A and B are shown apart, each in its own frame.
Chain A
Amino acid sequence: MTGRGLFARPARLAAVAPYLWMVLFFLVPFGFVLKISLSQTAIAQPPYTPLFELTQGLSAIQTAFAKLSLENYRLLIADDLYVLSYLRSLVVAAVSTSILLLIGYPIAYGMARLKPPWRSLAMLLVIVPFWTSFLIRIYAWINILQHDGLLNQILLALHLVSVPVVWLSTDSAMYLGIVYSYLPFMILPLYATLAKMEPSLLEAANDLGAAPRQAFWLVTFPLSLPGVAAGVLLCFIPIVGEFVIPDLLAGSDQLMIGQTLWLEFFTNKDWPVASAAAVLLLLLLVLPLVLYDRLQRRQLERMG
C-alpha cells in the first residue's frame, strides 16, 4: 500500500465530526423550513400549526401528507408584492454585479501589474476592509450621505448644488453601499487569475504585432474569464438575498426579497409564508449555486 493510501483512511475519519455537524445544523434545518412552508399560519407560539408530530407514529404522518397545503406558495406567486420583490432582487443583483465588474476589473488589473512587494501590500489593503465589520461600513456611508452629511456639505461649499440633495433612502445610495461592501469579493478572484498569467503571452502578442489594447482583449481578458465567473457568482448570489444594505440605505417603497422575508418573519410573524419565501429564494439560486460549486471544486482540484 502506498503512503498516500495509508494517509487517506484516518483523513476520512476526520470527516465524521464536521459531517455530522453540517447535516445537523445545515441540512436538517432546511427540512424544517420546507415542512413549515407547507403548514398553516396560526396565532400562537410558535405561530404555525404543525403538520405532524413524530411521536404520533406513521399514521399521523400519512394523514399529514394528505393535508399538505401549497397555500403559502400560491399566495407568494399570486401576490404582486412578492413577485415584484423577487424581480427587484434579481435586477439589483444583476446591476450591482455589473458595476462591481466594471470597477473591480481595472483595480485587480492594476494590482496584478505591480511589482511583487507592492502586490502583497495592495492585496492586504484590499482584504482589510473585508475583515472590518459589514454593518460599520454601511454606517460609515450613512454618516456621509445623510441630509447634513459630509457629501452635501462639500457639494454646497463648491456651489454645485443650492439645496441639500436627498441621498439616503434612494436606490443610488443602496447601489453605492452594495458596490462598496462587495468590492473585495470581486477584486480577489479577478486578481488571483490575473496575477497567475504568464507575461510572456503578452510579449508574444506584442511580437506578433498586436497593439496593447488588442492584446488585452485577445489574450488577457479571455484568459481571465474563470476569475470573472468566480467574482460574478461570489457577488451575485449573496446580493440577491441581501437584507442589511437595502434596509438601511434604500427607500421602503420597493423591497428586496430578503427584506420581505424579514418583514414576514419578524413584523407579521407569519412563519409559514416566510419559510415559503425562503424556499423560493433558494430555488431561484439553485443554478448559480451549482455553477459556483462546480467552479470552486475545479479550482481546488487544480491546486491539489
Chain B
Amino acid sequence: MKGPALNQLSRFNIGSLAFGLAFLYLPIVILVIYSFNASRLVTVWGGWSLRWYREFFNDDAMLDAAWMSVRVALASATLSTLLGTLAAVALSRGERFRGRVLFSGMLYAPLVMPEVITGLSLLLLFVAVNAERGFLTVTIAHTTLTLCFVAVVVQSRLGSLDRSLEEAAMDLGCDPVRAFIAVTLPLILPAIAAGWMLAFTLSLDDLVIASFTTGPGSSTLPIRIYSEVRLGVKPEINAICTLVIAAIAAVIVLASLVSKLSGARGESAAPL
C-alpha cells in the first residue's frame, strides 16, 4: 500500500520553499524599487524618478570603472573559457597522465580558496616580475579564478555524454581531433556557453582579487562601489546596482535562449 503523504508536498515543504525564495529575492526587489526613489534620503519615499540614473551617467569616474569592468570581464571570460574547456577535455578524456592529480588539484582549489589568498599571491607575483598593474594583471587574475568554474561546468557535461558517439565517428574514419570537433564540440557547446557567462558574471562581480591586482587609476566597478558603500548608502549606488542586476538578468535570459536554440535536451548546463 502506498502512503498517502509520500508523493505530496507537505505544508512544511511549501512553507520552507516560500521562505527560501522570499529570503533570496526580497532584498534585491527592495533595492530595485528604491533606485527609482526621487528623494535624496534613501529611506524616505519621494515618488518615482530616474534622477539617480541620470546622476550615474554623468559620473565619469563611475562610468570609467564600469567600462574597465566590462572589458576585463569580456577578455577574461573568453580566455578562461578556452583554457577551461581544454582542461575539462584533458581531465575527462585524457585517461591517466603524469601530473593529473596535481592538475585537478590546481583546478579545484581556486573554487573554494579564500579570495584574499589568491589575490595576495598574484599581486606578489606581479610585483616580483615588475609588471605594471592594470587591465592586463586583473584580466590574468580573473582568468585564473574563472577557468576553474568553466572547467567544472564543461567537465560535468562531458561526463554525462555518451562516449559511443565519439567512438562511432572514429570507426567511420574520423581522426580523434575531427571526431571531437564534429561530434563532441556541438554537444558540449551549451555548457561552454554557460561557462563563459558564469565566468563573465564572476569577473564583473569580483572585488577582492581585483583590489589586490589592479593599480592606481584603473579601478573596476566593484572597487568604486565598495569605496562608496563604505562611506554610507547613496541613492546613486542603488541605480548602479539595478543596472548591473539588469545586465546580469539579460545574460541569464540569453544563456537559456542559447541552450534552447542549440537543442540541448536532458541536463541543463547549470553552474556547479
Contact = CB atoms under 8 A, between A and B. Distances in A.
B84 A7 contact: no
A22 B112 contact: no
Secondary structure dominating the interface of A: helix
Contacts of B207: 134-135, 244
B46 interface: no
Given A32-B125, A300-B155, A18 B114 contact: no
A22 B23 contact: no
Interface string A249-276: 0000000001001100110000100110
B30 A107 contact: no
B167 interface: yes
Interface in B145-161: 147, 151, 155-156, 158-160
A133 B244 contact: yes
A139 B31 contact: yes
A301 to B, nearest CB: 9
Contacts of A109: 13, 16
**Number of chain A interface residues as a range:** 35 or more
Secondary structure dominating the interface of B: helix
Residue among A3, A26, A129, A146 facing the most chain B CB atoms (10 A cut-off): A26
A258 B167 CA distance: 49
A11 B93 contact: yes
B40 interface: no
Nearest to A264: B120
A71 interface: no
A64 to B, nearest CB: 15
A126 B272 CA distance: 12
Interface stretch (A55-63, A76-84, A202-210): A202-210
A133 B248 contact: yes
Interface in A173-218: 180, 183-185, 187-189, 199, 202-203, 206-207, 212
B27 A180 contact: yes
Contacts of A5: 95
A148 B232 CA distance: 12
B89 A17 contact: no
A264 to B, nearest CB: 10
Given A7-B166, A7-B179, A133-B222, 19 more contacts: A7-B176, A9-B176, A22-B106, A22-B144, A30-B121, A106-B12, A106-B16, A114-B9, A123-B268, A123-B270, A131-B251, A133-B205, A137-B28, A140-B28, A144-B30, A183-B24, A203-B2, A248-B230, A297-B108
